[in-house]
Amino acid sequence: MQEKSSVFSEEQKEFEELINEWQNLSQELLKKLNNKHDYVLEKRTSQSLMALGALEAHLKMAIHAKQASDLN
């Protein structure tokens, strides 16, 4: 039974590392989107810009959900 617990602990640790890495990358991406750099906006259609806006909103919601899950 100890071995199963050890495997679970390792998997849990890997998951936590991945989700923290995802959060850091998402926050970095949000900073780039918020700065509205020319290289982000140029040569994009209005649909593409709306899609980036939706991506930004979903990333924010996902980060808030992750932070809420950290409270438990």
- Cα separation, 47 vs 16, in Å, equals 35
- The domain total for the chain is 1
pLDDT digits (tens, 9 = 90+) for 22-67: 999 999 999 988 887 777 778 889 999 999 999 999 999 999 999 9
Q: Between residues 8 and 27, which one has the greater pLDDT?
A: 27
Terminal-residue alpha carbon distance, the chain = 26
Average pLDDT rounded to a whole number, residues 5-23? 89
Domain limits for position 16: 2-70
pLDDT at 58: 97
pLDDT at 14: 94
> Model-level pTM?
0.76
